[in-house]
Amino acid sequence: MMLKPISLRLEQYTLQRKQEVLMVHLETAAGEPDTVVIFAGFSSSLVMPTAFDPDIPVIAADSTIHSIDRLASPYNPSNPQYLESGLSLPEMIKILETMNL
pLDDT in tens, 42-52: 999 999 988 88
pLDDT of residue 53: 85
Is 49 inside any structural domain?
A: yes
Smallest CA-to-CA distance from 14 within 78, 77, 83 is with 83
What range does the domain containing 85 cover?
6-98
Q: How far is CA 21 from CA 32, 84, 91, in A?
A: 23, 11, 16
The predicted structure's pLDDT at residue 51? 84
State residue 3's pLDDT score.
62
Whether this prediction's pTM lies above 0.95 is answered by: no
Residue 80 lies in a domain: yes
How many domains is the chain built from?
1
Parts of the chain with a pLDDT under 70: 1-3
Q: Is residue 1 part of a domain?
A: no
Please give the pLDDT value at position 23.
98
Each residue of 58-68: b (16+ CB within 10 Å) or e? bbeeebebeeb
